[in-house]
Amino acid sequence: MMRIVGGAIGPVVTTVILASATILITVGNVEKSYPSPVTFNILFGLGLAMAIVCVVLAIKMKRLATKMKPLTTESIM
């Protein structure tokens, strides 16, 4: 589930961050705007933070799952 949501939201967040801070570069009388080098640091930092959050959540979910009792038909009714 997290991989599907991340795959849907990740490219949009990346595009917004890259488009938010641009610099103008002129080469041969052609001027274009490109993402600032700082935005790449922001992207890698955000990716690192999200990876750490996902690992912490996975560890907490595993601990919670081992403490739970198996679901039986008697507990449902």
Q: Which of 3, 2, 33 is nearest to 18 (CA)?
A: 33
pLDDT confidence of residue 45: 93
Which structural domain range is residue 7 located in?
Answer: 2-76
Q: Which of 55, 58, 59 is nearest to 47 (CA)?
A: 55
pLDDT confidence of residue 62: 84
* Amino acid sitting at position 12: V
Q: How many domains does the chain have?
A: 1
Number of CB atoms found within 10 A of residue 52's CB:
10
* Amino acid sitting at position 46: L
The ranges of the chain with pLDDT < 70 are: 77
Tokens in use for 41?
């640091």
pLDDT confidence of residue 66: 79
Residue 56 dihedral angles phi and psi, to the nearest 5°: -65, -45
CA 8 distance to own-chain centroid: 10
